[in-house]
């Protein structure tokens, strides 16, 4: 940088061009002014033409949701049509021996677990309600107002009881409602819950964005007190079952088609156990809510599959720490396929692995609760369970996120006969070959679900961050921002500095600036050469 107060020394002799002297520039100010007046308007026009228009605002739809409901184990993955034998899915009966109060157990078995609910509206005019966000199913369905639990038999008005406390839908009051298939909607989940009714199309709004003509299920019969917003793959829709109506554009597909987001991708952040809220970003990621870079993991396909049906990735290692020592769990069941399922409240692991973890933390299995009971005062400082995926990255789940207070349906704390609080471990054994990684895992991971490229991008979550930094997800194979390029060589326990991500982003922006404005650089160079020639 030049110092304007510094006295200049004699200038070095400069080579002349086209016979002009080195001092000619000072001798012909009128010529210089004339040239500038002649060329600057043209240069300004060229620069204006070369400069691109202002970039459009990023197409990202932030959706806030809240946590609600008492805790009990739930598995909300959709049950395939060929496996709908509910008798295989029943929870153990109250006849099993246990030392817990029968009345408490009966109330707990009626609980629906911790729910992550988001506010939506359906129909025209909009009817507000709350739906559970579920990454392991693919249908949006709502409670019909005609469900007996939602209607006052005396006056026909909507009841805000536990049967429909999250809202219901009256299709007779929507001018945009269109019936697509009467009694054609039917969905089963692996925890034995189900819903049946009609397929319809109507206006659906979430996160400030309105999706026209969204296909939904309108449940006239269900054993759930809330509807579901499934955001999975279209191949897993209930309508794809034998005899069904076939697949239809999902919520994220319609968002792309209507220009609301650029690609079929979204990110999910639940925050910690104590937080009442979380968020899902359709078409974007929030870099303030994860640590380091994201690691990209291809979604697994079942034998014979061309397109995935679930967000399944390979679990390659499990370890734990009690705060003093670190232990690896070896098992013939690893690697194992795990499904990322926001509709499940707990983490379901292969039985030997779940049993090993429970034993290390002195948790005892209760056949009556069908849960591992653990000391509510177990020391959690520096203790964690670590899961590694595809041999390239890992997520640590703090022990404080795995000790869950058990509550009754009424909201009160569940207690033993002697009045002690009951806490459970947020891990259970899986009853089949597919393990479900539910909320007790997802709270510790920031996850991007990329349906277009059939991959998951994941990082350690940042609990309770300050502020936000939302970045749009673009299109193409490299659409997700801040994916580490050296992910395949990272050690599972490697810690990545957030600042390195920011530096990488700055370099990319600089290169993009040069790539977008090449004409501007050429114009400036040409202008300077013309002035030099004529002067």
d(CA 162, CA 418): 30
Environment class of 517 (CB within 10 Å of its CB; exposed 0-12, middle 13-18, buried 19+): middle
The verdict on whether 341 is a catalytic residue reads yes
Output the DSSP codes for 246-294.
-----HHHHHHHTTSSSSSEEEEE---TT-SEEEEEETEEEGGGEEEEE
d(CA 498, CA 80): 41
Contact 122, 142 (CB under 8 A): yes
The verdict on whether 439 is a catalytic residue reads no
d(CA 214, CA 254): 8
Choice among 134, 139, 191, 271 that is catalytic:
134
- What sign does the CA torsion over 60, 61, 67, 73 have? negative
> For the chain, how are helix, strand and coil distributed in percent, rounded to 5?
20, 30, 45
Calculated CA dihedral for residues 157, 158, 160, 163, nearest 10 degrees: 130
How many residues belong to the chain? 535
475: its two tokens = 């299109």
Calculated CA dihedral for residues 8, 14, 18, 24, nearest 10 degrees: 20
Place of tokens 């006239």: 220
Choice among 191, 341, 439, 450 that is catalytic:
341
Contact 441, 456 (CB under 8 A): no
Residues involved in catalysis? 134, 341
């Amino acid at each position: 940088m030049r110092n304007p107060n510094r006295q200049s020394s004699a200038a070095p002799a400069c080579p002349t061009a086209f016979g002009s002297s080195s001092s000619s520039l000072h001798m012909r100010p009128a010529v210089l002014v004339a040239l500038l007046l002649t060329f600057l308007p043209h240069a300004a026009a060229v620069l204006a033409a070369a400069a691109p228009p202002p970039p459009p605002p990023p197409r990202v739809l932030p959706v806030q949701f809240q946590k609600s409901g008492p805790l009990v184990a739930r598995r909300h993955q959709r049950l395939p049509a060929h496996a709908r034998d509910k008798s295989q899915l029943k929870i153990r009966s109250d006849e099993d021996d246990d030392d817990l109060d029968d009345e408490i157990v009966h109330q707990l078995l009626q609980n629906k677990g911790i729910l992550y609910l988001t506010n939506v509206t359906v129909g025209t005019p909009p009817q507000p309600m709350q739906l559970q966000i579920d990454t392991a199913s693919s249908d949006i369905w709502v409670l019909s107002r005609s469900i007996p639990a939602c209607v006052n038999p005396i006056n026909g008005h909507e009841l805000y009881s536990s049967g429909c406390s999250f809202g219901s839908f009256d299709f007779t009051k929507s001018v945009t409602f269109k019936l697509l298939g009467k009694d054609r909607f039917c969905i089963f989940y692996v925890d034995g819950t189900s819903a049946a009714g009609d397929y319809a199309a109507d206006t659906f709004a979430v996160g400030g964005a309105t999706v026209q003509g969204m296909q939904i299920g309108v449940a006239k019969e269900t054993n759930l007190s809330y509807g579901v917003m499934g955001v999975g793959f279209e191949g897993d829709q209930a309508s794809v079952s034998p005899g069904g109506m076939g697949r239809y554009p999902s919520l994220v597909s319609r968002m792309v088609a209507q220009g609301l987001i650029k690609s079929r991708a979204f990110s999910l952040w639940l925050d910690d156990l104590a937080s009442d809220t979380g968020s899902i970003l359709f078409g974007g990621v929030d870099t303030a809510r994860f640590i380091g870079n994201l690691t990209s993991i291809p979604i697994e396909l079942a034998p014979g599959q061309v397109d995935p049906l679930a967000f399944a990735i390979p679990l390659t290692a499990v370890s734990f720490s009690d705060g003093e020592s670190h232990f690896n769990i070896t098992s013939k069941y690893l690697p194992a396929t795990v499904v990322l399922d926001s509709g499940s409240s707990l983490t379901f692991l292969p039985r030997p692995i779940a049993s090993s973890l429970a034993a290390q933390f002195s948790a005892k299995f209760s056949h009556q609760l069908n849960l591992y009971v653990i000391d509510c005062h177990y020391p959690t400082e520096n203790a964690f369970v670590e899961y590694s995926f595809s041999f390239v990255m890992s997520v640590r789940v703090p022990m404080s996120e795995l000790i869950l207070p058990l509550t009754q349906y009424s909201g009160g704390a569940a207690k033993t006969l002697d009045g002690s609080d009951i806490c459970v471990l947020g891990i259970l054994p899986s009853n089949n070959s597919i393990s479900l990684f539910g909320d007790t895992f997802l709270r510790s991971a920031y996850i991007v679900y990329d349906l277009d490229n059939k991959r998951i991008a994941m990082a350690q979550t940042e609990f309770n961050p300050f502020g936000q930094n939302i970045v749009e997800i673009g299109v193409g194979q490299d659409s997700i921002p801040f994916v580490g390029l050296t992910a395949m060589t990272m050690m599972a326990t490697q810690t990545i500095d957030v600042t390195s991500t920011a530096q990488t982003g700055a370099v990319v922006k600089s290169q993009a600036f040069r790539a977008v404005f090449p004409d501007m650089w050429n114009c400036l160079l040409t202008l300077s050469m013309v002035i030099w020639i004529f002067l």
